[in-house]
Structure 1
Amino acid sequence: MRSKACDALRKQGYLFFSPESSAAVKPCMWSKRALRGGDMCYKHQFYGIESHRCIQMTPTLRCNQRCLFCWRSMEHEVENEIELTPEAIVSGAQKLHKKGLAGYKPHRDVTPEMWQEASEFPNQVAISLSGEPTCYSQLPALVDLFKENGYTVFVVSNGTRPEVVEKLHPTQLYISLDAPDEDTYTMLCRPKGDYWEGVLQSLSLLSTRRSAVRVTLVKGLNDHSPEAYGRIIADAHPSFVEVKGYMYLGYSRSRLSMDQMPEHAYVRSFAEKIAESAGYRIRDESPVSRVVCLEEDL
């Protein structure tokens, strides 16, 4: 099963659970930075997540969209894989997280306490690394099993499979809303099927759980019609909205230009317009990550 994409990702720090599966763990930049006593990511600022104790992973690299702004490779797709059981993923996730951080144990800025928390006592799982997690057939059971083992769980989905989203009960559920209308969605996200109505259906499920809508803003492509974003968000009624600037990283650099990466002031200005239309307000922001968090204006 192992493709050229998996080989390339392994060089980038992806740690795979088995040769037959594309399920993987990769400690993120913020996890490593926090471990050394540096800043944590905006999820700590917004929601209290400790970056060094957060396992970033995916149960599959498969995806049913080809978003222009995605940092992953689309030239070598994962076609056939043997899915791992939720039990195999949960039992191996901490080990791979620790392995991914192993080079930091002797670092002069890493205290024994921080190392122990990161390597032995991670308490958060972000199912957001790459791929579309709802393409993994046992995602609801995986989320439940992580929670039963004491983890908080964030799931980030493109919303194309509402029948799976409906069964998910993570600590916080993200659904991407990367376009204000179907034409923009088709152009930017390049779905492999007719999914726009499915995305809207997934968004309609957010009001009954702790949730967030994620808008990735790409200059010149989806940075229009803030009132349309606002109407969709008002109907979805999520707990939070994150308006985040596209980052010129990874394989997206072969599809987009650096000029399409908006500055934080631009992101904030657009977020303010969405908030006004949706009946939300700015709750917090992280200029270094170019992200603005909105919540309902009560």
Structure 2
Amino acid sequence: MAELKTEDIYQALNERLERQGYHLIGNHSSVKKCYWNHAAIAEHRFCYKSKFYGIESHRCIQLSVSNHWCWNACTHCWRLRPQDVGLEWNETKMPYNDDPKFIVENAIKEYRRIMSGYKGRQGTDMKMYQEAMNPKHVAISLTGEATLYPRLGELIKEFHNRGISTFLVTRGIRPDILANLEEEPSQLYISLEAWDKESYNLFNKPLVPRGWELTLETLGMLPSFSSTTVYRITVVKGFNDSDEAIKGFAKLIKLGLPNYVEVKAYMYVGASKGRLTRENMPNYDEVKEVAKKISNESNYPIVSESVPSRVVLLSNMEKPIRYGNGMPMGWSSVEEEESPGEYDDEP
């Protein structure tokens, strides 16, 4: 059998993404509808980012700028890996570098295309539909490591110039990129599952040397950011819910002093189902218990929670910073009942 060319491999990977509902942009980016885009516009139900940070769920773009590349091979991640698809490629280096303005324009275009189907749909709030055609926020995450895109700061600035706020999600493995952004995101997320080098090498499986040391370097420079900063601790039942892990997370919080800490459940979805089991997905009460312990260890009080997304928010801020006209921080209603399968599309 002839060896596949690099472009054929990426074409095969892109075809898989398209079958999974991704809208491809150029050579390395994509947009995908989030569950909460639908829930907001059709059911008046909103994601935790709306409650915590004021994000309007029906006006929020989910964007990846690094579809197939990352410096980690995290156990819980849904990114396609070589062993998942029987193909081989260099996961650590992006061979493409599309123009930021092109990505931004087409991210907005594809988002409008995604949401346009709600115009004549029964149950659609037409005022919210009109608002959705003018997105106000982008989560730069979804799949792959965003900091591998070399023009990330330009991309963020391009969104800001259009009145669109940005949340950048990263595993924190590129402190060099984060330290030299032309423009900071509105909010910077660092995703954490491990609490020390041993657990990091076991679970996050770095594909480059000194992955844990690079992560610590990122955490250490967070207090220098003018944007708000967040740790998102993904709770994987049976792995990082022990007392040892909780004490380790508390030490990391004291190192980076983030404005917020999200303690959030691992979701049993995508390619991660081949590496973990449904039993590794904690329910809301189990997440809440871990959050309480981290709160006690770190002296970060619990300030909010979202049952459907199985997430609890801790913060050392006296007053939250809002990035839109979403739900107020203290909002709660019957929609906060546990509802299996409702999650945002971020690992």
Query: After TM superposition, is the score higher than 0.5?
Result: yes
Structure 1 match to 2:123: 109
Number of residues of Structure 1 aligned to a counterpart in Structure 2: 295
Q: Distance in 2 between matches of 1:172 and 1:155?
A: 6
Shift of 1:242: 0.5
Structure 2 match to 1:195: 211
What is the percentage of aligned positions where both structures have the same residue? Answer: 38
Q: Distance in 2 between matches of 1:111 and 1:176?
A: 34
| SS of residue matched to 2:241 | coil
Structure 1 match to 2:187: 172
Cα separation, partners in 2 of 1:297 and 1:174, compared to 1, 3 Å: closer
Q: Out of 118, 129, 146, which is 2:159 matched to?
A: 146
Shift of 1:77: 6.2
Write the deviation string for residues 244-265 of structure 1: whole angstroms up to 9, x where unpaired: 1101111111110001111111
Structure 1 match to 2:341: none
Q: Out of 200, 217, 222, which is 1:206 matched to?
A: 222
Q: Out of 212, 236, 248, which is 1:228 matched to?
A: 248
Q: Distance in 2 between matches of 1:38 and 1:249?
A: 25
Q: Distance in 1 between matches of 2:42 and 2:317?
A: 37
Task: Report if the CA contact (8 A) 2:259-2:317 is conserved.
Answer: no
Q: Distance in 1 between matches of 2:292 and 2:39?
A: 30
Shift of 1:112: 2.6
Structure 1 match to 2:16: 8
Q: Out of 122, 137, 140, which is 2:150 matched to?
A: 137
Q: Out of 53, 56, 60, which is 1:50 matched to?
A: 56
Q: Distance in 1 between matches of 2:128 and 2:206?
A: 41
Q: Out of 98, 111, 136, which is 2:112 matched to?
A: 98
Write the deviation string for residues 205-257 of structure 1: whole angstroms up to 9, x where unpaired: 22233110011111122222211110110121100001111011111111100
Q: Distance in 2 between matches of 1:222 and 1:165?
A: 27
Q: Out of 39, 44, 47, which is 2:45 matched to?
A: 39
Task: Report if the CA contact (8 A) 1:230-1:278 is conserved.
Answer: yes
Task: Report if the CA contact (8 A) 2:28-2:98 is conserved.
Answer: no
Unmatched tracts of structure 2, length 5 or more: 1-6, 319-347
Amino acid at match of 2:21: G
Structure 2 match to 1:84: 98
81-90 vs 45-54, greater mean Cα deviation? 81-90
Structure 2 match to 1:161: 174
Shift of 1:148: 1.4
Shift of 1:297: 7.4
Unmatched tracts of structure 1, length 5 or more: none
Q: Distance in 2 between matches of 1:212 and 1:240?
A: 5
Structure 2 match to 1:291: 311
Amino acid at match of 1:99: R
Confirm or deny that 1:65 pairs with 2:72.
yes
Confirm or deny that 1:216 pairs with 2:246.
no
| SS of residue matched to 1:104 | coil
Task: Report if the CA contact (8 A) 2:171-2:215 is conserved.
Answer: yes
Cα separation, partners in 2 of 1:252 and 1:122, compared to 1, 3 Å: same
Structure with greater contact order relative to length (CA < 8 Å, sep ≥ 6): 2
Amino acid at match of 1:147: H
Q: Distance in 1 between matches of 2:180 and 2:287?
A: 32
Q: Distance in 2 between matches of 1:164 and 1:81?
A: 17
